[in-house]
Amino acid sequence: MPDNMEKRILVIDNDASRFESLSSVLRDLGVLQQARIAEALSLAANFKPHIVLLSTDTAADFELCRELTMAQADCRVVVLTQDDQIAHRDAAYAAGADDFIADPLHFAGFRYQIERLCKVVGDSEQLKQSLKDATDIAMMAISNSGEMGGVIEFMKRTSDCHDVDALLTALVSSCAGHFQLKVSAQIRTETEQKTLNSEGRSSPLESEMLLRLTEGARIYQYGHRLVINYPKVILQIKDLNWENSDYIGRIRDHLAIMVEAAAHRVDGIVLEQKMAAQSRKIRESLVTIGEVLQQFDAEYKYQQSASRELFEGLRIQFSSSLTRFGLTDAQEDDLLYMIEASSKYADKLYEDGFSLNQKFAGVTAVLNDLVVEDAHLDSLRPSELDDSVILF
């Protein structure tokens, strides 16, 4: 209780005039109430005093002090007595009294003692509140740390999700398993829409309902439900207890982080799948190009061989027929030289063709290096459902 809050002071005394005297001295320190000894316990239970001034002279009155301190553990008891014997002080201490003031009272000193006691009460209440606040903060930090562990674990799992089904299962199972929430979620891409709830199933009606909820704000509540709505991913938390506002605030923040991470992972999955599809098409095209180049090489070699046979046959025919043409030796040598030169030129053309073929082979080798490896493509295929997934 703050120090400036009005204190409740209970005066237990059968003498009304004595109460009036004490009231005139302590009036501005708090709310004063008189109780006779016979009614002290019942009145204290309702009044809940911070300070009790107990006028006592008998052992029975000390027993009343003990009962008061047991019933009102936070109140401070001051024993007022005419007997200043050590035995009485010991009895007051044993009964749980906080102070002992002997008559006759010196009102200035008495007021000062009660003022100090009021300050002690205020400081004690402040200390209790500070301790409670510190304990609440510590417990919140512990809870938040455990909850953040669930968020981090989910974000680790998303890196192993290479299809929408696996990502959707990871999101729902994390909410159900780590946060003990009943949820339903939906992921949408240009080519597919998947829905799952924490019961491990979904229905066309639930899928349609979630699709309608995407028209709302980023985070909003309706009834006992909370909706976190990001592009391509929507999460609905069912039957949420809104009485614990601190817990709801933390859960909302944690789940918003998870849903946003899932939305970004959806973009990554779509990109991976597009890259994988493009790589497979490129690889199929490269196989076709390789087959065409092999066929081209075989035809080139066949044409080169046929061309050589043609020029060789032509040279033989010319050699056997030149005697009938009446040519000089120099003219015959010129004709045979031209045939030989044409044959060599044809061979050179074929060799240039082989060089072009090798260049094509080099290009296809570079393209092969650029496409995604088969082993990596296998890792991008639909993930298997983890047996440890918790659904209920």
- Domain covering 7-133 in this structure, CATH number: 3.40.50.2300
pLDDT score at 368: 67
Among 32-46, 153-167, 188-202, 234-248, which is the least confidently predicted range? 234-248
Bridge partners, 8 (sequence order): 31
CA distance 123 to 174: 46
Q: Measured on CA atoms in the order 25, 28, 34, 37, is the torsion positive or negative?
A: negative
Each residue of 65-109: pLDDT tens digit?
A: 888 888 877 788 888 887 777 877 888 778 878 888 877 777 788
Cβ atoms 57, 65 nearer than 8 A: no
Query: In terms of Cα–Cα distance, which of 280, 301, 279, 282 is closest to 290?
Result: 282
Bridge-based pairing state of the strands 182-188 and 30-35: unpaired
Each residue of 155-185: pLDDT tens digit?
A: 888 888 888 998 998 899 888 888 888 899 9
Cβ atoms 47, 8 nearer than 8 A: yes
Assess whether the previous peptide bond of 104 is cis (omega < 30° from 0). Answer: yes
Each residue of 304-362: pLDDT tens digit?
A: 777 777 777 777 776 767 666 666 777 767 777 777 777 777 767 666 665 666 666 66
Residue 383 has pLDDT above 50, yes or no: no
CA distance 178 to 147: 8
- Domain at 142-270: CATH architecture: 2-Layer Sandwich (3.30)
Number of neighbouring beta carbons within 10 Å of residue 172: 25
CA distance 75 to 194: 63
CA distance to 102, 278, 316, 381, per residue, from 186 (Å):
78, 27, 83, 21
CA distance 380 to 378: 5
**Any alpha helices (H) in the chain, and if so which ranges?**
16-26, 40-47, 59-71, 86-94, 107-158, 164-178, 204-213, 245-321, 329-370, 374-379
One-letter amino acid at 74 equals D
- Which whole number is the average pLDDT over 249-255? 86
Q: What is the pTM of this model?
A: 0.49
pLDDT score at 352: 63
- Which whole number is the average pLDDT over 15-30? 82
- Burial pattern 368-388, b for ≥16 Cβ within 10 A else e, equals eeebbeeeebeebeebeeeee
Instruction: Count CA within 13 A, CB hemisphere, residue 81.
Output: 23
Residue 51 has pLDDT above 50, yes or no: yes
CA distance 352 to 340: 19
Residue 390 — pLDDT band, cuts 50, 70, 90?
very low
Each residue of 114-123: pLDDT tens digit?
A: 888 888 888 7
pLDDT score at 259: 93
